[in-house]
Amino acid sequence: MLLQMEVNRLDFYIGLSLAVSSSVFIGASFILKKKGLLRLASKGSMRAGQGGYAYLKEWLWWAGLISMGTGEAANFAAYAFAPATLVTPLGALSVLVSAVLSSYFLNERLNVHGKIGCLLCVLGSTVMVIHAPQEEEVSSLTSMAEKLRDPGFIVFAVCVVGSSLVLIFAVAPRFGQRNVLVYILICSVIGSLSVSCVKGLGIGIKELFAGTAVLKEPLFWSLIICLVICVSIQISYLNKALDIFNTSIVTPIYYVFFTTSVMACSAILFKEWLSMTTDEVVGTISGFLTIILGIFLLHAYKDITFSWDSLPLYLRKGPQVFTLTWSQRVSPGSSESVPVCLG
Amino acid sequence: MLLQMEVNRLDFYIGLSLAVSSSVFIGASFILKKKGLLRLASKGSMRAGQGGYAYLKEWLWWAGLISMGTGEAANFAAYAFAPATLVTPLGALSVLVSAVLSSYFLNERLNVHGKIGCLLCVLGSTVMVIHAPQEEEVSSLTSMAEKLRDPGFIVFAVCVVGSSLVLIFAVAPRFGQRNVLVYILICSVIGSLSVSCVKGLGIGIKELFAGTAVLKEPLFWSLIICLVICVSIQISYLNKALDIFNTSIVTPIYYVFFTTSVMACSAILFKEWLSMTTDEVVGTISGFLTIILGIFLLHAYKDITFSWDSLPLYLRKGPQVFTLTWSQRVSPGSSESVPVCLG
């Protein structure tokens, strides 16, 4: 029993480090892809958002895809070792990595808000890691199959498939180009199924290494097929969203919707919340909300430059002059400087 | 043993509710006092910051003092039931109450940052409450006397008294009017001693109700004398700081310095951190940092009006016009509106 707990704890730390390193790769992939798409746009090719596929010829886009692939593989492995309620929210760190890299490679300067947002992401993630359930909920493909047959999960899966079909065929053609939520909702809702498949496959592969004949089980192959379908849909719609809208709006909204949807799915499928104390549940939710606020700050005020210089304002008396500078990243030439006299 | 734990848990909840209700009174007291001082300033009396004592004739200032007294009494009682590491940081809620009341009674509008800051204070406090040590460290005046005789604490107390004497007699006359930190540092450093006295007295009064003859102990009376001296110094310097500088800069800085100083003192005196697990220590620190960031947001951008209208900026394409409004509370007539065209 004590040995089993030790193994669980080791698994937890392996899963944790895989999740963190996957965030680095995924964060970098957003920047590479965006740089590739921007380069294509400057060449005048037909854009992904309008149905073009020219991005397949751009090596930067492929580098992004490979980085994302590596990240997703690490993420995949992380799910086999640690609970989804821990791994998915840690994706926030990829937002942080992408924010820091943006400031270097896409000339998007990180302002005071961005820095506070990054700190909040780290603090929220820390609190979530402390509170996340440490025990593995499923340890074999057979027990996974049982969980998948649970009526609660079947209802959830039917709702997910139904709502994404409605979004893809009825809503996306009409509102997809104007409203950023449509494409992101499709990715997020489908994403909860991908994570379930990944979790099942990860456990299957772990069993395979342990010598079980999982390759003969039809469930293993159905999970692979389901995963390929889900991930293709996700990649396609995430590309469309990234091409039409700013990375700084796509990334945070995608994070919030995707994580919420995975946590809901994980709660229904693995019922990991039932074994948690009230304190742990409250702590996990507080951590998640802190991350969301951090991501909001990181992105919502990204185009307004606040410097520390404007802060000691309140420490002085009498008339004060301070300057705020706005700059828009898409057209970096158009920054304006507005001196304002107060008092 | 089990019964003892139940009693400890009950004590913890009593202390928690006392701490929360004290925050409401103390938060309100800041607003009442500030309103009183503002009314005096408009009458042209000599200001507290310049050495005047006209505020003693203003009933609003007295209402503020009574509200603060009630709050401090609840706070006092809270220290007798729950550890200082929990009670002091919950003072953040008084900052929240004062921010919300400011927006009603001092016409200081709460912007988006303020709302995020309030949420962060609540989240950070929640995380701290979950992780704070639940056991009482000291249960009798005799054991308190032992802790006070600890060499570590004696060194700390000497440093506190020495540094506050230097601040009061050497630094304050020269820099007090220009630098907001001077008066606040005096209050905060002295505050750590007040809290220790309060903790000791609270335990003494609990013992008194239980029938112990604490009134004969010289320690009880020395604690009262020490508390009266410390609190008088604190009130006097907090008044000076509040009169010269904006509430929105005094409150957050005072919170951060005072809480840090109390936590340091409590850690040295009660060594409550030694019985905590790594997770609890990390959680407590994360919660405290989250509160600090929340308080920073609540106050640093208070004079800049951000509305939700300026946010969907990134969802639109093409040239955009948005408006930011600055307004300074001290002279409410001088607000300016600056339309800026981007793109």
Q: What is the pLDDT of residues B188-241, one digit of tens each?
A: 999 889 888 888 888 888 888 888 888 888 888 999 999 999 989 988 888 888
Q: What is the pLDDT of residue B229?
A: 93
Whether residue A311 lies inside any domain: the answer is no
Name the E strands within chain A. Answer: 304-305, 320-326, 336-342
In the listed set B135, B155, B183, which residue is the last one of a domain according to the structure? Answer: B135
CB contact under 8 A, A120 and B290: yes
Whether residue A38 lies inside any domain: the answer is yes
Q: What is the pLDDT of residue A321?
A: 33
Nearest by CB: A282 against B116, B126, B279: B126
Same domain for B160 and B33 = no
Same domain for A200 and A130 = no
Same domain for B155 and B84 = no
Structural contact between residues B104 and B33, judged by C-beta atoms closer than 8 angstroms: no
Chain B residues with beta carbon closer than 8 angstroms to that of A343: 328, 331, 334
Q: What is the pLDDT of residue B48?
A: 58
What distance in Å separates residue B158's CA from the closest CA in chain A?
31
Whether residue B335 lies inside any domain: the answer is no
Low-confidence ranges of chain A (pLDDT < 50): 308-343
Same domain for A67 and A20 = yes
Structural contact between residues B313 and A301, judged by C-beta atoms closer than 8 angstroms: no
Whether residue B282 lies inside any domain: the answer is no
CB contact under 8 A, B314 and A286: no
What distance in Å separates residue A5's CA from the closest CA in chain B?
17
Same domain for B8 and B50 = yes
Same domain for A39 and A96 = yes
Residues constituting chain B: 343
End-to-end CA distance of chain B: 70
| Cα gap B102→B35, rounded to integer Å | 10
In the listed set B251, B274, B297, which residue is the last one of a domain according to the structure? Answer: B274
Beta carbons within 10 angstroms of residue A41's beta carbon: 15
Low-confidence ranges of chain B (pLDDT < 70): 1-5, 7, 44-56, 108-109, 134-137, 302-343
Beta carbons within 10 angstroms of residue A67's beta carbon: 20
| Cα gap A108→A101, rounded to integer Å | 9
Closest CA to A189 of A157, A214, A211, A213: A157
Closest CA to A155 of A231, A273, A264: A264
**Three-state SS at B325:** strand
Whether residue B60 lies inside any domain: the answer is yes
Mutate to test the interface with A, among B108, B121, B123 (most CBs of A within 10 A): B123
Whether residue B186 lies inside any domain: the answer is yes
CB contact under 8 A, A342 and B324: no
Q: Which residue reads 């039409």 in tokens?
A: A244
Q: How many CB pairs under 8 A join A and B?
A: 100
A304 strand-pairing partners: A326
Q: What is the pLDDT of residue B262?
A: 87
Q: In chain B, pLDDT over 70 holds for what percent of residues?
A: 80
CB contact under 8 A, B116 and A293: yes
Q: What is the pLDDT of residue B224?
A: 92
Characterize the bridge pairing of strands B336-342 and B320-326.
Answer: antiparallel
Instruction: Tell me which residue range forms the domain holding A232.
Output: 137-274
Characterize the bridge pairing of strands B320-326 and B304-305.
Answer: antiparallel
Q: What is the pLDDT of residue A305?
A: 54
Residue B109 is classified by DSSP as -
| Cα gap A9→B130, rounded to integer Å | 22
Name the E strands within chain B. Answer: 304-305, 320-326, 336-342
Residue B150 is classified by DSSP as -
Whether residue B184 lies inside any domain: the answer is yes
What distance in Å separates residue B143's CA from the closest CA in chain A?
31
Same domain for B166 and B128 = no
Same domain for A171 and A131 = no
Same domain for B159 and B108 = no
* Structural domain count of chain A: 2
Same domain for A122 and A61 = yes
Chain A residues with beta carbon closer than 8 angstroms to that of B111: none
Whether residue B326 lies inside any domain: the answer is no
| Cα gap A227→A201, rounded to integer Å | 9
Same domain for A52 and A88 = yes
Same domain for B173 and B120 = no
CA closest to A181 among chain B residues: B315
In the listed set A228, A253, A274, which residue is the last one of a domain according to the structure? Answer: A274
Beta carbons within 10 angstroms of residue A49's beta carbon: 17
**Three-state SS at A140:** coil
